[in-house]
Structure 1
Amino acid sequence: MQDIDDEMKKPLLKHLVEITAHREHSRLAVSVISALYQLTNVQAIRMLEIFTMRDEHYVQEKMVIRDGAVHTIDDHTSEDLKEPLASFPAMMACIRNHLNEYLETADDGSHVLWLPVWLHGKMNSCVEIRSDRPFEQQIMDVIHGIFHVYCNYQSLLDYSERDALTGLFNRKTFDEQFTRYAFAIAPAESHALDKDDRRHDGEVIDEPKGHWLAVVDIDHFKQVNDRYGHLYGDEVLILMANILRASFRSHDRIFRFGGEEFVILLRATTLTDARKIFDRFRQNVQEYDFPQVGKVTVSLGFVGISRETPVVILGHADQALYHAKKSGRNRICFYEELVDSGVLTSGITTNDTVEFF
């Protein structure tokens, strides 16, 4: 970036200071595309996110800036806005060849620069910069400099949010993100279930979608550590994290709270589907052959997310989990159902047998 004009250095430094002041991914992305737009005078810039659903890859626009205004696409967006990854040949070329950039001329004559964002060896998003004239070298230097700062800083943020052993989000991240994900999220896409699963007595059930929090505990995990050692116990945790990732969408959130306990935020799903999804995960674990250890099971308690505090919501899910373990393990229990049936009393209890996070 040695060829950058003195006039550009001051605003460039100002933007770099602003970029590195953020501790949250979406705000970081907004500051980056704003800096790129203001410093390069291009037509438009988009941030596109890649996510997986039903083993298929899709792309959804997360934010765009044009005519000087930034528009963010939040989680209230309809799933209709997602497009198959195959509809973006430039992004496909970046993935196939592991490219750090791709430059092309669009059918309308505009010049488009694609900048993939790589994380853990996978492309999780991409910046699209569109200009009505070819990119000059000085402009490319500015773009590369800001974009590399963004990628490096995003990696640092991601590292601080993850559990070192499993790579899942950690408890600290849950505490920071719960309110945003629990109350701001809305239907994005439903899980893949057979049509028969959505029917009752020949009629389609029109059930409202909600958001759910589940607490998962590996049954008899202490015995695994005592019998096989902590190395095999760690391997069980790593493989459990892989099963969790495979059982839920990339838009859901999975956390390791420490030890053998995990928390799941399941988004925009009916109660009927949530029950099936959680039980499908339980079956996936039950059917998996863990090296040396053999068969492992999990117990799960879940609750509908309301505008209660995280402590209350976690406490309710933990009560349901405790009941699942007390009732024989390897099962799922729904808190509201247990309350309605009189098995549990509503509200946080001080029962010493219930362990709260």
Structure 2
Amino acid sequence: MTHLLQNLVEMTGHRDHLRLEASVMATLHKLTSVVEVRALEVFQREGEACLRPRSWMENGQWVSTEAEAQADARRQPLTHFPALQACFEARTEHARSAPQKGRYVVWLPVWVHDQVTSCLEVSQSRPISAHRLDVLMGIFNVYKNYQSLLDYSERDALTGLFNRKTFDEQFARHASCGDERARAPQSAPGAPAALPEGGGNREPLRQWLAVIDIDHFKQVNDRFGHLYGDEVLILMANLLRSSFRSHDRIFRFGGEEFVVLLRATTLETAHKVFNRFRQTVQDHHFPQVGQITVSVGFTASASGSPVEILGQADQALYFSKENGRNQVRFYDDLVASGHLQSRISHEDMELF
């Protein structure tokens, strides 16, 4: 019992979701007769619910994947796990199965806003007794409660997107992927590497940062009031979520400004993705308000400090807003054409 309490203390000492997930998995893995613990991501692919391993314990170490869920070769349809599917449909707190002799599995789903986003899978060599299930549920509930506290501190209260406070940490993790991780995003030994976009090696996969600003948003608040302004922000957050992948990161920086960290894609695709989002916003009907447009500035985020990268994307954004709005501008193109000069460097910073 003392050993278990020490693990719980360690688990709640983390201030990061991934480290918290690794810690709870390590705690569960130390229980007697437990042979494997995995965190499974739940997602939709072409309208079908699927699962894929997101992190697991291997040779005493925690292993995770940065691969895009939709393209992960290890994904499996939820229908392959009938007990877990029934658990999701009935909204029960756990599911159990004995897929083979000497292997007994319990799944513990994580519900967020009435949807299952992930679940912990615990496999052990002996049948799962009522006492063991109580222990598992107790540890899992501590994990869920602490995860909710972390989530609340990291997110914007209005839109549910990540807030400005979490940007530096997420940016550092995003940038650490680098071009090498982008070309082979699977971190597990022996896992299949992602294929280059377009089936060839025409462009390297890189990381991108975009700053997105709602055009004339002050007029929305002045004309329709702040309640409708807030509704526009909430709907904009929903459009952002549906327009980008699960492993990209979206932030609300305050007011009408949003930031997107786009992972592992080519410059050509980044242009297409950001312009597709711009067009999606333009085509969307906002109740009472009508049509809204956005301006976008983006830059590569593989190197440089957050101040440098944000400064570059901001310069591209403001060029977009000062030259017609409702457009996407790439910082390097503007510099190459002479429309912009670099205002932020490693040596000094000019405030503007």
Normalization by structure 1: what TM-score? 0.87
Distance 1:144 1:223 in 2: 51
Given that 2:343 and 2:350 are in contact with CA atoms closer than 8 Å, whether structure 1 keeps it comes out as no
5+ residue gaps in structure 1? 1-7, 190-196
1:278 maps to which residue?
274
Given that 2:33 and 2:126 are in contact with CA atoms closer than 8 Å, whether structure 1 keeps it comes out as no
1:193 maps to which residue?
none
1:182 Cα deviation from its structure 2 partner: 2.2
Matched, 1:72 2:68: no
Q: Which whole-Å deviations, capped at 9, do the CAs of 1:279-316 have from their partners, x for residues lacking one?
A: 00000000011111100000000001122000000000
1:348 Cα deviation from its structure 2 partner: 1.9
Matched, 1:169 2:162: yes
Other structure's SS at 1:343 match: coil
2:24 maps to which residue?
32
Given that 1:216 and 1:299 are in contact with CA atoms closer than 8 Å, whether structure 2 keeps it comes out as yes
5+ residue gaps in structure 2? 187-196
2:116 maps to which residue?
123
1:209 to 196, 201, 205: 205
Greater mean alpha carbon deviation, residues 38-47 or residues 285-294: 38-47
Letter in 1 for 2:127: P
Q: 1:292 to 1:97 in 2, by over 3 A?
A: same
Question: Paired residues, what number?
Answer: 333
Greater mean alpha carbon deviation, residues 94-103 or residues 219-228: 94-103
Q: Which whole-Å deviations, capped at 9, do the CAs of 1:185-216 have from their partners, x for residues lacking one?
A: 64459xxxxxxx959xxxx6722111110000
2:330 to 313, 329, 334: 334
1:333 Cα deviation from its structure 2 partner: 0.2
2:175 maps to which residue?
182
Q: 1:343 to 1:88 in 2, by over 3 A?
A: farther
Distance 1:240 1:163 in 2: 13
Q: 1:184 to 1:282 in 2, by over 3 A?
A: same
Distance 2:282 2:46 in 1: 21
Distance 2:47 2:307 in 1: 34
Other structure's SS at 1:336 match: helix
2:318 maps to which residue?
322
Distance 1:198 1:133 in 2: 47
Normalization by structure 2: what TM-score? 0.88
Distance 1:267 1:56 in 2: 24
Other structure's SS at 2:291 match: coil
1:88 Cα deviation from its structure 2 partner: 3.5
Given that 1:183 and 1:307 are in contact with CA atoms closer than 8 Å, whether structure 2 keeps it comes out as no
2:129 to 112, 132, 136: 136
Distance 2:162 2:336 in 1: 33
Q: Which whole-Å deviations, capped at 9, do the CAs of 1:164-196 have from their partners, x for residues lacking one?
A: 00010000011222101222264459xxxxxxx
Q: 1:275 to 1:66 in 2, by over 3 A?
A: closer
Greater mean alpha carbon deviation, residues 296-305 or residues 131-140: 131-140
Q: Which whole-Å deviations, capped at 9, do the CAs of 1:309-357 have from their partners, x for residues lacking one?
A: 00000000000000100110000000011111111113428777x5xxx
Distance 1:31 1:351 in 2: 42
Matched, 1:227 2:223: yes
Q: 1:302 to 1:55 in 2, by over 3 A?
A: farther
4+ runs deviating over 4 angstroms: 52-57, 349-352
Letter in 2 for 1:267: R
Percentage identity across aligned positions? 54
Distance 1:216 1:29 in 2: 31
Given that 1:43 and 1:66 are in contact with CA atoms closer than 8 Å, whether structure 2 keeps it comes out as no
Given that 2:66 and 2:247 are in contact with CA atoms closer than 8 Å, whether structure 1 keeps it comes out as no
1:18 to 6, 10, 14: 10
1:43 Cα deviation from its structure 2 partner: 1.4
Given that 1:110 and 1:130 are in contact with CA atoms closer than 8 Å, whether structure 2 keeps it comes out as yes
Q: 1:235 to 1:76 in 2, by over 3 A?
A: closer
Distance 1:341 1:294 in 2: 35
Matched, 1:112 2:108: no
